Amino acid sequence: MLNKLFESFMEFPDPRCAGRTAHRFIDVLVIAVCAVIAGAETWIDIALYGRSKKDWLSTFLTLEGGLPSHDTFRRVFSIIDPVLFEQRFSLWVKDCFLPIDREVVAIDGKTVRGSFDRAAQQGPLHMVSAFATEQGISLGQRAVENKSNEIAALPVLLDSLSVKGNIVTLDAMGCQRVIAQKIIAQQADYILALKGNQKKCHKAVVDYCHTTCIAVPAAIKPDYDAFDDSHGRRVRRRGWVLPCVDKLAELQAWPELRNIILIENIRSINHRHKTTCELHYYLSSCNDAAEIQIAAIRKHWAIENSLHWVLDVTFREDDSRVRDKVATRTFALLRKMALNIVRKDTANKASLRGRRKCAGWDDEYMEHLLFRNDKK
């Protein structure tokens, strides 16, 4: 893992004045990644980790200028090119992780809530991330000013990914024909949540589904029908995959569209004695079996449970008070680097939090994470 990181970032352009830098950028980056793996949450934490592990770090880093101070870490990660940093991260991921055919790649946004600055009238930064749901790794990110700007970031993020042969899932914000065309151009398939932002398409799909699937008696039986009685609630989930695109004129302009998917969730919470019903609609270009497409929709939520939730709870991202926009983006990527490295160790059955603590306490285990987890 670390060897590939060296290869991806060794030639990264250092914006600092040439001849006046005491620390190589690659040394600064590697110390920061190791520190975040071990639990560092601030620039001061990173510098403290470096001082504590100087002897061990010097076994594979030059450290010609000694150890950087916390101001050096803050300054370096505040002035580097964040777009290029994100691009190199995506290249590192491609080099370290073997692609899985027909993996579900979920794309969604997350706000770094602690990055706001009232004095500067600056709102919190919003990150759009891609997540490989089977492997549990972050594939890339792009930053936007707020959630409403996600559409502009999606094509750029997709260009940085290698999704050939996979299924890309997005929420309603990404349900755009241009996004669908971008995915198809990469020889992947899409499943997009359809809501009211696509008014004509949404109305046509809702009317058709209610007539054929929800009406009593229903003309079409569900492809999926299952009950879940756990966690104090009862849920019945039904799903229909409807290859009826040619019957709806409103859908003809969608590239390579093959199916409409309807998901019905009927939920009853035991102690409330209240039952609710939710209907969700999707557009799909997939030619897979119905159960695979329905399973892909459920897998999309892994980006919330296995990436966003982990970043918040295990890495305490929302508690971070890094406010500089560039530093917020780069620190967010340091967390994703650390998460990918720790997740790669599937032999260790401890929790992510436990593995991070072990790495901070045990240099031998940290070496295992950094040097013995390459795909080759």
Between strands 167-170 and 189-194, the pairing is parallel
pLDDT string in tens for the chain (376-residue length): 888 999 999 889 999 887 788 899 999 999 999 999 999 999 999 999 999 999 999 999 999 889 999 999 999 999 999 999 999 999 999 988 888 889 999 999 999 888 877 777 777 889 999 999 999 999 999 988 776 678 889 999 999 998 999 999 999 999 999 999 999 999 999 999 999 999 999 999 999 999 999 888 888 999 999 998 887 788 999 999 999 888 899 999 999 999 999 999 999 887 677 889 999 999 999 999 999 999 999 999 999 999 999 999 999 999 998 888 899 999 999 999 999 999 999 889 999 999 999 999 999 999 999 997 554 4
Which amino acid is it at 9? Answer: F
Q: What is the pTM of this model?
A: 0.92
Is residue 6 within 8 Å of 26, Cβ to Cβ?
yes
Separation CA 250–CA 206 (nearest Å): 12
Q: Is 269 helix (H, G, I), strand (E, B) or coil?
A: strand
Separation CA 174–CA 170 (nearest Å): 6
Angle CA(309)–CA(184)–CA(158) in degrees, nearest 5? Answer: 40
Can you read off the two tokens belonging to residue 247? 């019957």
Which amino acid is it at 292? Answer: I
Residue among 118, 131, 201 nearest 166 (CA): 131
Separation CA 307–CA 296 (nearest Å): 17
158: how many CB neighbours lie within 10 A of its CB? Answer: 23
